[in-house]
Amino acid sequence: MTAQSIPADLLLSAIREAGVQDVVLVPDTHQRTVLDLLMDDDQIRTVHCSTEDEAIAVSAGLIIGGRRPMMQIQHAGLYASVNNLRGVGLDGQFPIVMLIGLLGRDPELDPRDDGSSMVRLCEPLLDTLGIPSHLLDGPDDLHHVAAAFDEAAERGGPVALFVGAPTS
Amino acid sequence: MTDTTNNSEIQRMSLESALDVLARRRDDQVVVGTMTANGVWRDKSPHDLNLACIGFMGGASTLALGVALSQPERDVWVIDGDGSLMMQLGSLGTIAGAGPSNFLHIVIHNGVYETSGSQPLPSQQQVDFAKMAEGAGYAQTASFGDAEEFDAALDELLAADGPTLIQLFTRPGGRFFSARPTPPGITPALARMWPPVAEALR
All residues of chain A having their beta carbon less than 8 Å from the beta carbon of residue B69 are 22, 45, 47, 58, 61-62, 65, 67
Q: In this prediction, does ipTM exceed 0.95?
A: yes
Give a yes or no: residue A1 inside a domain.
Answer: no
Chain-wide mean pLDDT for chain B?
91
Tell me which of B181 and A12 has the higher pLDDT. A12
Q: How many domains does chain A have?
A: 1
What are the C-alpha distances in Å from A117 to residues A52, A64, A103, A108, B90?
19, 35, 11, 16, 26
Q: Domain for residue A131, yes or no? A: yes
Closest partner residue to B88 (CB to CB) among A45, A54, A69 is A54
Domain-located, residue B2: no
| Residue A121: inside a domain | yes
B23 in any annotated domain = yes
Q: What are the pLDDT digits (tens) for A22-38?
A: 999 999 999 999 999 99
The one-letter amino acid at B42: R
Establish if B94 belongs to a structural domain: yes
- Domain-embedded: residue A2: no
Q: Is B187 a member of any domain?
A: no
**CATH classification of the domain holding B96:** 3.40.50.970
Check residue A10 and give left, alpha or beta (phi > 0: left; psi -120 to 50: alpha): alpha
In a domain, B200, yes or no: no
A69 and B CB contact within 8 Å:
yes
The reply to whether A21 falls in a domain is yes
- Residue B123 maps to a domain: yes
Check CB contact of A26 with chain B, cutoff 8 Å.
Answer: no
Tell me whether residue A139 is in a domain: yes
User: In the structure, what pLDDT confidence band is assigned to residue B115 with cuts at 50, 70 and 90?
Assistant: confident
B43 within a domain of the structure (yes/no): yes
The residue segments making up the domain with residue B68 are 7-173
Residue B81 has pLDDT above 90, yes or no: yes
Q: What is the pLDDT of residues B37-50, one digit of tens each?
A: 888 999 999 999 99
Q: Each residue of A64-99: pLDDT tens digit? A: 999 999 999 999 999 999 999 999 999 999 999 999
Q: Examine residue A127 and state whether it is found in any structural domain, yes or no.
A: yes
Question: Does the pLDDT at position B5 exceed 60?
Answer: no
Question: Which pLDDT belongs to residue B45?
Answer: 95
Residue A76: burial class (beta carbons within 10 Å; 0-12, 13-18, 19+) = middle
Q: Does residue A168 fall inside a structural domain?
A: no
pLDDT tens digits along B120-133: 888 767 899 999 99
pLDDT score for B8: 59
A94-121 burial by CB neighbour count: b if 16+ within 10 A, else e? Answer: bbbbbbbbbbbbeeeebbeebeeebbbb
pLDDT at position A134 over 70: yes
With an 8 Å Cβ cutoff, the interface of chain B facing chain A consists of: 51, 55-57, 59-60, 62-71, 88, 90-91, 93-94, 97-98, 187-191, 194, 197-198, 201-202
Domain that holds residue A29: 8-163
User: Residue A29: which CATH number?
Assistant: 3.40.50.970
The answer to whether position B183 is within a domain reads no
Structural domain count of chain B: 1
Question: B3 falls in which pLDDT band (50, 70, 90)?
Answer: low
pLDDT of residue B6: 58
What's the mean pLDDT when you consider all of chain A?
Answer: 97
Q: How far, in Å, are B22, B32, B79, B154 from residue B19 at the CA level?
A: 5, 13, 9, 12
